[in-house]
Amino acid sequence: MPDKEVLERLRKMIRELERKTATPITGPLSGFFPSPAPPASLSTSKRPSPVPQEAPKTSFSRDPLPLSTGTRHEAGYSVISTVYAQGAFPELLPPSPASLDGFRSLEPSLKSLDEWVYLDIETTGLMGAATTAFLVGLGGWTQEGFAVDQYLLTSRQGEEAMLDALALALGEKDALVTFNGKAFDVPILQSRYIMNAMRSSVPLRAHLDFLSATRALGRRASYGQSLKEAVRRFTGYTRESDIPGSMIPALYFVYEKEGDLSVLSPVMKHNLLDVVDMACLARAFGEILTAEPEAGDPEALSGAGRLHFRRGNLEMAKRCLETAGSCGPDWRKMKGDAEALRLRLLAKVLRKQEDWEGAIEALETLVSLLPARDEDYLSLARCYELGRRDLPKAMEIVRRALDRHGEAADEFPESLLRRKRRLERAMARLEPRQDTNG
């Protein structure tokens, strides 16, 4: 297909995206490049600051207006700055101070919730060493609100200068936050530093990859694992009329061929919202990982409990698992296997804490109400044996488990038979000895 036809098809797709949205897809980005000869100074436009408030978990049909926007043009690249007020998007609030311990189960090297930088890149495609990150979005909390700086490569000759500016900006931060950044964003940026014979500034000492967090918090059949799907699940925000990621490299090539920066407006918006979305997820994940009152997703809370358990954070695991089991009627309750997994893990946590009564309560609920396994009966018997020192009750639990397998002795699991024999020996040793002397 001739280049002219390709360009026309891409422009038609952009117009279609604009038609479907209630507001022009260029939005606040339309004035970022006012003339072919960009000014050297930073220009900004101010809007009244709304009163910060907790945003309801609902979908937005329009893009919130930023507090301020501005553009700084350098040789070969531009920096586009956007600041949003707290609460402009659902969950666009700094992580709660209480969430630090929860996040440490994701990244043990975290020192604080301060100086986090949210990073997302757009590239020229997947072309190995030739892949270039032509747009890098960096977001972070400031006194004014959530600020996003987008570094746009306006000329290939400006890549080294842009990478140098990125290194300076990242060098001031303590923790990096990405979505699939460990597999995509960071390796590509590292390769660009290497190709330009420069020292890489990424990754930072601490790196939170929210794709890993999304997976750790468990799947829901109605949601995917992408950034937009994660935000839709955990915050209720649905991004509308977004450009498909597959179009982004082509649009940059259109810009390079024609020099028309307006072609990149949907790409700029896509990148901007990706960075904002990660900040929204940080608030939501912090609530879930610390089982705060706002967290009401039982599957996610149960997943947080599993994560804390693997990290050895038993008290936080207990808190998340117990909160998952007490979610109110307005939330979809876990049933069947999901609830059995929660109770089984909660019992393990409580046993490690030597809370035998709590473990017995969890396991009794499991074996009486839900599909239980032989291991559940064995764990319950162990709790009665070690916790209450009640060998007859432990034997009763083992016999209940054996009764589930019917009358055929050859079908009895060996694990249950071994426990039965061991309990019989222990009970025999406790029986009073008969006087053999007459």
Please give the distance of CA 56 from its chain centroid, rounded to a whole number: 20
User: Could you tell me the two tokens for 378?
Assistant: 């064995």
pLDDT above 70: residue 325? yes
Would you give the DSSP letter of residue 432? P
* pLDDT reading at 393 higher than 50: yes
pLDDT at 40 over 50: no
Question: Domain for residue 226, yes or no?
Answer: yes
Most confident of 14-28, 196-210, 344-358: 344-358
Q: Is residue 342 part of a domain?
A: yes
Residue 69 lies in a domain: yes
The residue type at 203: P
pLDDT at position 191, please? 93
d(CA 137, CA 125): 17
HSE of 183 in the Cβ direction (CA atoms, 13 Å)? 5
Residues 285 and 298 in one domain: no
Is the residue at 360 inside a domain? Answer: no
Asked whether the CA dihedral 371, 376, 377, 383 is positive or negative, the reply is negative
Q: For residue 219, what are the domain limits?
A: 3-289
DSSP of 212-236, one letter per residue? HHHHHT---TT--SSHHHHHHHHH-
* Domain-ending residue, one of 354, 386, 402: 354
Per the prediction, the chain carries an average pLDDT of 83
- Percent of the chain's residues with pLDDT above 70: 81
Tell me, yes or no, whether 221 and 320 share the same domain: no
Residue with tokens 């609100």: 145
Look at strands 146-153 and 77-84 and give their pairing. Answer: antiparallel
Domain boundary (289, 314, 330) is at 289
Gap between the Cα atoms of 98 and 290, Å rounded: 7
How does pLDDT run across 349-364, given as a tens digit for each residue? 999 999 999 999 999 9
Give the whole-angstrom CA distance, residue 302 versus residue 218.
8
- Residue 336 placed within a domain: yes
Residue 437 lies in a domain: no
| Structural domains in the chain (count) | 3
| Contact by Cβ (8 Å): 58, 250 | no
Identify whether residues 204 and 322 lie together within a single domain: no
Average pLDDT over every residue of 396-422: 84
Same domain, 188 and 318: no
| Residues 261 and 347 both lie in one domain | no
- My answer on whether 405 and 319 are in the same domain is no
Q: How high is the pLDDT of residue 64? A: 84
Check residue 106 and give its pLDDT.
92
On whether both 21 and 164 belong to a single domain, the answer is yes
Q: What is the pLDDT of residue 349?
A: 97
Statement to judge: residues 265 and 210 lie in one domain: yes
Report pLDDT digits (tens) over 232-267: 999 888 887 788 888 899 999 999 988 888 899 999
Same-domain check for residues 331 and 301: yes
184 and 315 in a single domain? The answer is no
Mean pLDDT of 138-143: 96
